[in-house]
């Protein structure tokens, strides 16, 4: 059995999610602002839930139909063969996104869909499942916009954006999905140094270690929505987990360095990394960002400084941003530098020209990931290599050409 599978994500993340899904071997059918669609089997649903780092939920399409009124919803939904998917002795929760003129209260749409499912199962099996708000068993998701209704099984149940390793959050931690999206949108090759000064509770460094070691994002989780759907086969799931376990690297041949000036942040990083099973991959230090050791060779340096909207005072931060630019220029040559911030004005104080800017949202704050190519002496641009006299001659030649 195959169906459309929709993996949902926050705004601006779908190009990264699309690449992630393609790198797992899937052919993407459609990508939109908050989701990526493929055609696949229920086994693919299990694999995507286990592995995806930048998705919120994995949805299995049950049926699309037209509906103008709550009664249209009821009769269309009642004709779906729910007995294929939902155990009459089980428990079902309905969640929805509804934007249609005949519904002013979303709860009413949820109620109608629940009634249709219960009615169908009672008439076919003589029994009815329980229902309620808990998302830890079977979850049905209704998308209803205008007259377009789409009913899905939410195979994640509770979102897969949380990994469950964060025991100790520090100030303004990034959520795990966003941290993974930042790591995956850098040019890091997963084979050279990853340096993360200002690490806070360590989310970027931990996600980097999990990515480099091929540790599935959800390897700790024991309950998913799909386990409460009749298509689930526990033996297939166990085999999938075993296969992914065999793919894991035990050791990394390059350093992942995480540092922060705050001892509580460093303690939080250690606790979280231990809980994620990657503490031995991290070199964790207490120091000012500018004292973080930079290994020889290639690699990336990724900073997520405070940006004054949730933490810190702007006048102090101006100085910090300017110091970050100087440090990149003087100490990080040969690396690719990245700064993730929600304050575009402060970013100007870095004083370097970014080679790329990637947009993100952190909650409701619009953020950017700035990329800097930090050339070492041998990698200077041809223009920088020119002597002052050669530069003057080239300039005069350009003006001459323009006048021609």
Ligand X SMILES: C[S@@+](CC[C@H](N)C(=O)[O-])C[C@H]1O[C@@H](n2cnc3c(N)ncnc32)[C@H](O)[C@@H]1O
Residues that bind ligand X (CB under 6 A): 170-174, 179, 197-198, 200-201, 203-204, 260-262, 265, 288-289, 304-306, 320
**Given the complex with ligand X, which of 76 and 343 has the nearer CB atom?**
343
Token reading at 345? 């004005």
**Closest to ligand X by CB, 77 or 273:** 273
Least distance to ligand X, CB of residue 167, Å:
13
Which CB sits closer to ligand X, 281 or 306? 306
Neighbour-count burial of 192, counting CB atoms closer than 10 A to its CB (0-12 exposed, 13-18 middle, 19+ buried): middle
Least distance (Å) from ligand X to the CB of residue 57? 22
Checking DSSP bridges between strand 282-286 and strand 256-260, what pairing results, if any?
parallel
3-state secondary structure of 222: coil
Sign of CA dihedral 2, 4, 10, 13: positive
CA dihedral 87, 93, 95, 100 (to 10 degrees): 80
- Say which DSSP state 303 is in: E
Comparison of 203 and 358: residue with beta carbon closer to ligand X? 203
From CA 326, how far away is CA 380, in angstroms rounded? Answer: 17
| E strand or H helix at 6 | strand 2-8
How near is the Cβ of 278 to ligand X at its closest, in Å? 15
User: Shortest Cβ distance from residue 198 to ligand X (Å)?
Assistant: 3
Q: How far is the CB of 217 from ligand X (least distance, A)?
A: 16
Is residue 225 within 8 A of residue 157, CB to CB? The reply is yes
* The two structure tokens encoding residue 189: 């090759």
What are the beta bridge partners of residue 368? 341, 359
Q: End-to-end CA distance of the chain, in Å?
A: 69
At closest approach, how far in Å is the CB of 203 from ligand X? 3
Which residue lies nearest ligand X, judged by its C-beta? Answer: 200
Return the closest-CA partner of residue 374 out of 302, 304, 281.
Answer: 302
Minimum distance of ligand X from residue 228's CB (angstroms): 32
Q: Which is nearer to ligand X, 53 or 137 (CB)?
A: 53
Taking the least distance from each CB to ligand X, the nearer of 262 and 373 is: 262
């Amino acid at each position: 059995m195959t169906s459309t599978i929709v993996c949902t994500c926050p705004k601006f993340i779908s190009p990264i999610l699309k690449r992630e899904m393609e790198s797992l071997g899937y052919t993407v059918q459609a990508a939109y602002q908050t989701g990526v669609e493929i055609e696949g089997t229920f086994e693919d649903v299990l694999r995507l839930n286990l592995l995806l780092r930048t998705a919120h939920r994995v949805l299995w399409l049950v049926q699309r139909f037209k509906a103008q009124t709550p009664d249209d919803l009821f009769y269309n939904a009642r004709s779906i063969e729910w007995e294929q998917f939902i155990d009459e002795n089980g428990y079902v929760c309905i969640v929805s996104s509804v934007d249609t003129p005949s519904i002013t209260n979303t709860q009413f749409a949820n109620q109608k869909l629940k009634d249709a499912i219960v009615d169908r199962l009672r008439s076919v099996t003589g029994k009815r499942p329980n229902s309620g708000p808990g998302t830890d068993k079977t979850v049905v998701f209704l998308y209803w916009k205008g007259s377009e209704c789409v009913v899905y099984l939410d195979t994640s149940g509770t979102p897969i954006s949380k990994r469950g390793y964060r025991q100790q959050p520090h100030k303004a931690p990034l959520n795990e999905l966003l941290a993974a999206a930042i790591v995956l949108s850098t040019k890091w090759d997963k084979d050279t140094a990853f340096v993360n000064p200002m690490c806070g509770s360590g989310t970027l460094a931990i996600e980097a270690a999990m990515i480099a070691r091929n540790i599935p994002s959800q390897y700790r989780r024991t309950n998913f929505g799909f386990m409460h759907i009749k298509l689930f086969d526990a033996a297939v799931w166990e085999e999938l987990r075993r296969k992914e376990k065999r793919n894991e690297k035990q050791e990394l041949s390059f350093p992942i360095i995480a540092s922060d000036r705050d001892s509580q942040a460093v303690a939080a990083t250690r606790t979280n990394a231990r809980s994620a099973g990657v503490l031995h991959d991290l070199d964790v230090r207490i120091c000012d960002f500018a004292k973080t050791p930079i290994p020889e060779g290639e690699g990336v340096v990724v900073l997520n400084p405070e940006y004054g909207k949730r933490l810190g005072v702007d006048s102090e931060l101006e100085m910090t941003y300017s110091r970050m630019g100087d440090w990149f220029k003087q100490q990080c040559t040969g690396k690719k530098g990245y700064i993730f911030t929600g304050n575009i004005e402060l970013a100007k104080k870095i004083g370097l020209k970014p080679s790329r800017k990637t947009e993100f949202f952190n909650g409701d704050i619009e953020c950017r990931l700035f990329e800097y190519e930090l050339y070492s002496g041998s990698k200077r641009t041809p223009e920088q290599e020119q002597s002052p006299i050669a530069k003057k001659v080239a300039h005069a030649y350009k003006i001459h050409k323009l006048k021609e």
